[in-house]
Amino acid sequence: MKLLQGKNVIVAGASRGIGRAIAIKFAENGAFVGINYRRSEKSAQELLTYLEGRGYGGMLLKADVSSPKEVDSMVKRFVSERKSIDILVLNAGIYERGSFMDISEDRWSRVISTNLTGCYYVLKSSLPFIRDGGSIIFISSQLAFKGSRHGADYAASKAGMLGLMRSLALELAPRIRVNAVAPGTIDTDMISDYTEEMRKRRIEEIPMKRLGKPEDVANVCLFLASDLSGYITGEVINVNGGLYIH
């Protein structure tokens, strides 16, 4: 029995990295997956082709999560075909390096609008269609706890996500469960600017002695989306190889 058989899922930010791994993992377990993307149309189409080539169901959902009109249109399109939503994964996000004093007002607004306010827009449009027994999963970050020397706006947005998650967990229980995953250093495009020396240094810092894989995060999301976590809500699961223990 597949853990998500017959479930309808929207993954915000699904075309690459962690989002892509989540979409594949959920489809493999029986879910129909709405693949949200903003600009990476080629990657999103490749993902849909991959899923359909293996007999899995999915559809492309182009929308900038920082635009309430685009989000509302995306959700209505998904529901017009699938009728309802069972699982919502809030993964869309951007990260730009730089010290706090280097953060312009435009950059601050762009990061917060995408990473945090985008969650608000997707939730507002989706919640009326999420069925009883549904699951909402926020993809936060270890930086929500430890902060960042070169991404204060990103850390603030990810910490804000956790406040929103906990509030909704209280408000929506027992009808809908709401949880979060906080990844550590995952081997995705986000660390593509790491030099070989930086990668080696980070691996030495991690007790598990390796970088995380997108599938490591996807496996935890599968647990939180399924009935295996039926008595868990308002929690954050860290997936960081022991890099940050609290």
Domain ranges across the chain? 8-239
pLDDT of residue 190: 80
> Left, alpha or beta for 7 (phi > 0: left; psi -120 to 50: alpha)?
beta
Alpha-carbon gap, residue 91 to 72, rounded angstroms: 17
- What confidence score (pLDDT) does residue 209 get? 96
The reported pLDDT for the residue numbered 99 is 94
**10-residue averages of pLDDT along the chain (246 residues):** 96 96 98 96 96 97 97 98 98 92 95 97 98 98 94 97 98 98 91 87 94 97 98 98 90
pTM of the predicted protein model = 0.96
Q: Give the pLDDT of residue 200.
A: 93
The answer to whether 121 is a known catalytic residue is: no
Quick one: which of 68, 114, 124 has its CA closest to 91?
A: 114
Report the C-alpha gap between 145 and 87 in whole angstroms.
26
Residue whose tokens read 């990844």: 183
The CATH superfamily holding the domain 8-239 is: NAD(P)-binding Rossmann-like Domain (3.40.50.720)
Which residue of the set 50, 121, 154, 244 is catalytic? 154
Report the pLDDT value the prediction gives residue 104, as an integer from 0 to 100. Answer: 96
pLDDT tens across 59-84, in order?
Answer: 999 999 999 999 999 999 999 999 99
Q: pLDDT at position 192, please?
A: 79
The reported pLDDT for the residue numbered 194 is 87
